Amino acid sequence: MFDIDLWREIFQSINKNRTRSILSGFTIAFAILLFTILFGIANGLENTFIELFGTDAKNSIVIFPGRTTKAHKGLQSGRRIRFKNEDYNYILEEFGDNVEYITSKVNRNVEASFKGEKNSYQVRAVHPEHMYIENNVVEKGRYINNRDLQNRTKVAVIGNAIKEDLFIREEAVGKYINLNGIPYKVVGVFSDDEGDNEENVIYTPITTAQRVYGNNDYVDFIHLTYNPKLNYDQAIAFGNSLTRKLKNKFDVANDDQRAIRVRNFAEGTRNVSQMMFVLNLIVLFVGSGTLIAGIMGISNIMVFIVKERTKEIGVRKALGASPRSIVSIILLESILITSLAGYVGLLIGATVLKIFGPGLKDYFITNPGVNSGVVIGATIILIISGALAGYLPANKASKIKPIVALRDE
């Protein structure tokens, strides 16, 4: 239970020995302050890499056709490679187990208009699975579906930014939008965490675009995500195998780097993960060193405190205080100082990150912050260490006979 007399004694002791208490608290606060800032900077670097990717699928592979730069199998260099619907099907047939989602794409710039409002936007003709690759979030209506592909319907899914531009005071879903003079029915409105750049886009069924823009089955490029069960090495091997088979299908030399270009995000993701792992190890090492220094500081201070209070302990024992009550006073004083100082260190560290955080973006550190659970855990470690460091000498001192303690110098 709460013993008001016990806590009065503790606060009197702290007030009587202000310098000692301040030095003890400073050691703890400084350790937690450094720990908070170090982990905040590490998290800021990680946020930078996450921001570069946005919420787009990290397991993406994008395949671009180009022109051959080398003659191969009697075919001249400079030959244009063009993907068709059959290449989309070929990838699924050959690598179906390794493919999570896949879409072909046809991109066009159009002038969109609705009731006198008009602007220029990009149309991306895609398959329904593109929604999961790009991580679009449907706010109203629906996304493109397989029925749209089969019927080549003129439907469109527009970004929030387009809705705000063209449909100022009206509901967009169900209305018709003109794209280069061709009416498309708006069936959905989506949002994207990457903001206006991605929300100034109109999605239509790829089969519809192929009919409208040339009545053919050509596609601009193919975008897929690999099976998330694949590790980085397996994903990279899958990308290399995909490249070889496509080059063989189009009679392209293996060392021709421009005819078919495959951008495998697994390579960049692996490099980033390895770098972040090393960075976290460094931060953990430095942070642990800071905590150890704090623990050593607490230990030394607690030993000194107990030695300094040996005569006081002797007086208490002479007046009938039990060893347990003596140890409790010392430990509770240690825990109180450590807790308050740890909180102050956390508060200062969080404030420093909040004030200087925005300016660190130029150094590739975005929104530096730290999980309060990690810092609280570090503070608890310091509290326990301080308690143990104080318990051993306090317990030893509590067993000294009063007459011996009173003689101590």
* Per-residue model confidence as pLDDT tens digits over 380-409: 777 777 677 667 767 776 676 666 655 655
Q: How confident is the model at residue 244 (pLDDT cuts 50, 70, 90)?
A: very high
Flag whether pLDDT at 6 surpasses 80.
Answer: no
**Calpha distance 9→329 (Å, rounded):** 8
As a whole number, mean pLDDT of residues 273-279 equals 79
pLDDT above 70 covers a percentage of the chain that reads 86
Q: Which residues contact 322 (CB under 8 A, 6 or more apart)?
A: none
Between 279 and 298, whose confidence is greater?
279
The per-residue pLDDT of the chain, averaged, comes to: 84
* Per-residue model confidence as pLDDT tens digits over 58-92: 789 999 999 999 998 888 999 999 999 999 999 99
Please give the pLDDT value at position 126: 96
As a whole number, mean pLDDT of residues 324-347 equals 78
Q: Which residues contact 75 (CB under 8 A, 6 or more apart)?
A: 68, 251
Q: How confident is the model at residue 17 (pLDDT cuts 50, 70, 90)?
A: confident
Task: For residue 300, give the 3-state DSSP assignment.
Answer: helix
Task: For residue 128, give the 3-state DSSP assignment.
Answer: coil
Please give the pLDDT value at position 364: 74
Flag whether pLDDT at 23 surpasses 70.
Answer: yes
* Domain boundaries defined on the chain: 4-52+271-405, 83-88+100-223
Flag whether pLDDT at 275 surpasses 70.
Answer: yes
Please give the pLDDT value at position 159: 94
As a whole number, mean pLDDT of residues 249-263 equals 93
Flag whether pLDDT at 180 surpasses 60.
Answer: yes
Flag whether pLDDT at 1 surpasses 50.
Answer: no
pLDDT above 90 covers a percentage of the chain that reads 44
Q: How confident is the model at residue 162 (pLDDT cuts 50, 70, 90)?
A: very high
Among the ranges 9-13, 96-100, 316-320, which has the highest mean pLDDT value? 96-100
Q: Which segment of 2-6, 145-149, 352-356 scores lowest on mean pLDDT?
A: 2-6
As a whole number, mean pLDDT of residues 258-280 equals 84
**Calpha distance 386→394 (Å, rounded):** 12
**Calpha distance 138→173 (Å, rounded):** 12
Four-residue CA torsion sign, 72, 73, 74, 79: negative
As a whole number, mean pLDDT of residues 27-48 equals 81
Please give the pLDDT value at position 332: 78
Instruction: Give the count of beta carbons closer than 10 Å to the beta carbon of residue 61.
Output: 25
The amino acid at 364: F
Flag whether pLDDT at 196 surpasses 90.
Answer: no
Sort 401 into a burial class: Cβ within 10 Å, 0-12 / 13-18 / 19+: exposed
Please give the pLDDT value at position 407: 61
Please give the pLDDT value at position 380: 79
Q: Residue 109: beta bridge partners?
A: 122
Among the ranges 177-186, 275-284, 375-384, which has the highest mean pLDDT value? 177-186
Q: What percent helix, strand, coil does the chain show, rounded to 5? A: 60, 20, 25
Please give the pLDDT value at position 253: 94
Please give the pLDDT value at position 166: 94
Q: How confident is the model at residue 53 (pLDDT cuts 50, 70, 90)?
A: low
Residue 289, CB-side half-sphere exposure with 13 Å CA sphere: 6
Assess contact for 258 and 67: CB atoms under 8 A: yes
Flag whether pLDDT at 56 surpasses 60.
Answer: no
Please give the pLDDT value at position 339: 78
Flag whether pLDDT at 375 surpasses 50.
Answer: yes
